[in-house]
Amino acid sequence: MTNLRAVITDHGFPNLRHEESILGAAGIGLTVAQCKTTAEVGAAARGADALLVQWAPVDAGVIAGLDQCKIIVRYGIGYDNVDIAAARARGIPVCNVPDYGVHEVAEHAVALALALARQLPQIDARLRRGTWKIVPDRPMPSLREMTFATAGFGRIARTAHTMMRGFDCKRIAYDPFVSMDVMAMEGVEKVELDDLFTRADLLSLHLPLTAETKHFVNATRLGAMKQTAIIVNTARGPLIDTAALARALHDGVVAGAGIDVYEQEPLPTEHPLRSAPGALLTSHVAWYSESSIPCLQRLAAEELVRGLRGEPLKNCVNK
């Protein structure tokens, strides 16, 4: 493990003491950069034995220049900023950290869904404008009369379902990779894709971003939903065609959307979502808590050390 060097391509953490401690104890040197472009990543990563990546783009060109890299670890659950196929072709494992921030993201998704179901943003705005009414401006069914749905049934989706169980709503999920029996054990009905959109009152997205899931929510599927439906996205921004979603909100095709992640971040100031009625927007903060940051840093650093030691990896995404 001597003379090995890891590069942090970019990060937004208050400090790196967890990485410094874990890598230092393993005898691994650490170089820190704040790359934004592929050219900057390529220059910073030259000669590196391992990469820790947060948002910086690691494309096929960057990977082609990694002459001795043994592992790439992405800080977080998603890994669409890393070309995993190019890494696989070079024999470089790419790992994510799917077991941090699970409860936080589920909390945020459920909070967005509940706030919109109870019309809290609209009622707050109405009160601040000087209108005092003890009934909402549009129908508000009880949560126990609603159907809570998730696209996906992984860790975060299951945690969100557990949280929603207490509201006694009907719960359904779409996930082609999870069996009906597994969902039934959680009290959740497995449904097909079309039923997901037609039956959901509250639809929360918990899918990875792939070529197949990009614009999973589009104009056609929005048109199939109930006019009272609410969509929540705390997963990956491009799962939703956000221009189509903004039109659907403006036209009353659906009632609301709680969005934490976007196709382009930061969300452009002129984006129509900013003025869409029924849109509750947050700035990619679902993952955050005081404990989630150090957990993410520690787990990522530990996976990197396993990779450099040749030990079994916990979360390789490009086997």
Distance CA 277, CA 243 (A): 14
Distance CA 64, CA 59 (A): 9
Which one of 104, 236, 263, 303 is the catalytic residue? 236
Which one of 90, 265, 309, 311 is the catalytic residue? 265
Q: How many CB atoms neighbour CB 25 within 10 A?
A: 10
The question of whether 271 is a catalytic residue gets the answer no
Question: Backbone phi, then psi, for 62, in 5-degree steps?
Answer: -60, -45
Residue type, 201: D
> Are 55 and 75 in contact, with CB atoms under 8 Å apart?
no
Cα separation values, 162 from 144, 197, 200, Å: 14, 21, 17
Which one of 103, 250, 271, 284 is the catalytic residue? 284
For 69-88, b/e burial (b = at least 16 CB within 10 A) is bbbbbbbbbbbebbbbebbb
The stretches of 120-278 forming alpha helices (DSSP H) are 120-128, 155-165, 180-185, 193-199, 219-223, 242-251
Distance CA 206, CA 108 (A): 12
Q: How many CB atoms neighbour CB 46 within 10 A?
A: 14
Secondary structure (3-state) at 16: coil
Q: How far is CA 171 from the centre of its chain?
A: 21
Distance CA 154, CA 78 (A): 13
Cα separation values, 104 from 18, 70, 166, 193, 282, Å: 21, 31, 18, 27, 14
Which residues are catalytically annotated?
236, 265, 284
